[in-house]
Structure 1
């Protein structure tokens, strides 16, 4: 059985949703027969490459005061920490993620995609140093077990793996995905958002028990997610 996960490194709910899905998968009796494939989704393909502080971006996007933006980030941090994930609620930045996605496709070819994805999430959400600088990306790639010179060569060539990223995004659009995280099980069951682990457990069980070709069915919707207009903010 294959589970495809569309996500963006800029999406905090993708960070949280990945942890919740992995909790469900770890307890799934047939986990050794589940292939997990991570796919690309850019929340803002037109975002500038230069990193900008997250809190002012949140305030401008949602019409929040600086204090409200800080509180919103703190609530997302609380959700992340509830899953055992480190999260900086202040001092983070954001930028265009296309190069990250290209590098993840390179890492997939080398059998190191999960390691690089974890490194990118950790760098973006739990470390003060920006994850978007090319030199930093090479450093993270090396830490994930990739060859540094090869990773630098990928980043230096804007066309390297660009088609693979766009193909992932076109597939997501064809399936009707407008936000992430977006989980698709055997191209038959869809789960939107950072659902509770129990929802992912039910999805895995249902997909395993009904392994016959069918049209994509939305099994769960309404979980916290990020879309083109921003990330859903948790309420008090």
Structure 2
């Protein structure tokens, strides 16, 4: 069974949703037969490359006061810590995530996509140093087990893996996804948002039980 997860490294609920899904998957009896594939989704494709403090960005995007934005960020932090995830109290920043998505596709080719995604989430939500810098991205790629020079070459070529990112986003749009995280099980069952682990457990069970079993075709004896 394949589970595809559309997410954005800028999205704290994707960070939280990934942890909740993984808790459900860890207890799923057929977990060894589940393939998890991470897909690209940009919450703001037009965001500038330069990192900016997240509180003013949230206030402007949602029409909130800085105090309301800080309170919203504090609620997200509380949810993250409830899942055992580290989260900065303040000082977080955000920027365009397209290069991160390109690098994740590169990591997928080398079997290190999950490791790089974890490193990016940790850097973006739990560390004071900004993750939105090519030098830092190369460091994170190396931490995830990738070759640093190869990762730097990907970042230096704007079109490297760009089409793969766009294809993921086009697929999400065709499926009607307007936000993330968005989980799709065997392209038949969708779960939207950072749902509780129990919801993911039910979705995994339902998707597993509703799989279409292919009939066995007897082999004809050789002539």
Task: Give the TM-score of the pair, scaled to structure 2.
Answer: 0.94
Higher gyration radius (CA): 2
Query: Which residue matches 1:88?
Result: 88
Query: Shift of residue 23 of structure 1?
Result: 0.2
Give CA deviations for 1:85-141 in whole Å, capped at 9, x if unaligned. Answer: 001131000000000000000000011000000000000000010001000000000
| Corresponding residue of 1:135 | 135
- Give distance in 1, aligned partners of 2:94 and 2:205: 36
Partner SS state of residue 3, structure 2: strand
Q: Does 1:53 align with 2:60?
A: no
SS at match of 1:50: coil
Unaligned runs of 5+ in 1: 214-236
| Counterpart residue number, 1:8 | 8
- Please give the alpha-carbon distance, in whole angstroms, between the structure 2 residues aligned to 1:109 and 1:61: 35
How far apart in 1 are the matches of 2:31 and 2:196?
A: 18
Instruction: Tell me, in whole angstroms, the C-alpha distance in 2 between the residues paired with 1:89 and 1:158.
Output: 33
In 2, are the aligned partners of 1:70 and 1:89 still within 8 Å (CA)? no
CA deviations on 1:135-181 (whole Å, 9 max, x unpaired) are 00000000100000000000000000000000000111111100000
Deviation at 1:212, TM superposition (A): 2.4
Structure 2 gap segments, 5+ residues each: 214-223
Q: CA deviation at 1:14?
A: 0.3
What secondary structure, in the 3-state scheme, does the structure 2 residue paired with 1:5 have? strand
Q: How many residues align?
A: 213
* Residue in 1 that maps onto 2:23: 23
Q: TM-score with structure 1 length normalisation?
A: 0.89
Q: Measure the CA separation in 2 of the matches of 1:37 and 1:57.
A: 30
- RMSD of the alignment, in Å? 0.9
Deviation of 1:65 (Å): 2.0
* Partner Cα separation in structure 1 for residue 208 and residue 60 of structure 2: 44
The alpha-carbon deviation at position 196 of structure 1 amounts to: 0.4
Measure, in 2, the Cα distance between the counterparts of 1:110 and 1:148.
13
Q: How does 1:93-172 map to 2 (within 5 A)?
A: 93-172=93-172
